[in-house]
Structure 1
Amino acid sequence: MTTLVSAREFNQDVSAAKRAAQEGPVVVTDRGTPAYVLLSYEQYNKLTKPAHADGHKLIEALSMEEDIDIDFAPVEITVQDPEF
């Protein structure tokens, strides 16, 4: 469960945000815009451990800056008149 708190609420009650982070991510907003995410260390480790046998990590995959081109096979659609 994601918890949403303002930066002001976070600064006024850090302990409550830490308790909420034990249940799920805590999104801290700055003037209504999500700015930071507080996670438990266990949740952070799950995100950063290798996701595949070849050692790729989710964090590394998300931070890839190069573009990836994928060529998809074109879809062939045949249109027929309905039979009544």
Structure 2
Amino acid sequence: MKMVTSREFNQDVSLAKRLARMEPVIVTDRGRPTHVLLSIDAYRRMSGQPENLADLLAAPESADALDPADLRGAWGPR
């Protein structure tokens, strides 16, 4: 895992985002880990969240009812 300081993160967010596409990035504050930055794909794999709309619609709980609010949360602006 890559580590960046809070200062480095604030000065170059784009670099942190590029690094997070390859592996989680730990953000430190005064030398102590405080946050982890993950790509959305890594987060979805870790959380078990469907990766695409077809997976979301095929989920067993979608047979009961599909709430449009759920789609906004899963597929909102990136």
The TM-score normalised by the length of structure 2 is 0.61
Aligned mates of 2:17, 2:35 — CA distance in 1: 13
Question: Residues 15-74 of structure 1, C-alpha deviation per residue, up to 9 Å, x if partnerless?
Answer: 000000000000000100000000000000011007xxxxxxxxxxxxxxxxxxxxxxxx
Give the % identical residues.
53
Runs of 4+ in 1 over 4 A off after TM superposition: none
Root mean square deviation, CA, Å? 1.0
Query: What residue is the counterpart of 2:31 in the other structure?
Result: 32
Once residues 24 and 37 of structure 1 are traced to their aligned partners in structure 2, the CA distance between those partners, rounded to angstroms, is 10
Give the 3-state SS of the residue equivalent to 2:33 in structure 1.
Answer: strand
Q: In 1, distance between residues paired with 2:6 and 2:37?
A: 12
Gaps of 5+ in 1: 51-84
Larger gyration radius, structure 1 or structure 2: 1
* Alignment match, 1:41: 40
User: Normalized per residue, which structure has more helix?
Assistant: 2
**Alignment size in residue pairs:** 49
Asked whether 1:20 is paired with 2:41, we answer no
- Structure 2 unaligned regions, length at least 5: 50-78
| Aligned positions of 1:1-12 closer than 5 A | 2-12=1-11
Query: How far apart in 2 are the matches of 1:12 and 1:49?
Result: 32
Q: Distance in 2 between matches of 1:31 and 1:23?
A: 25
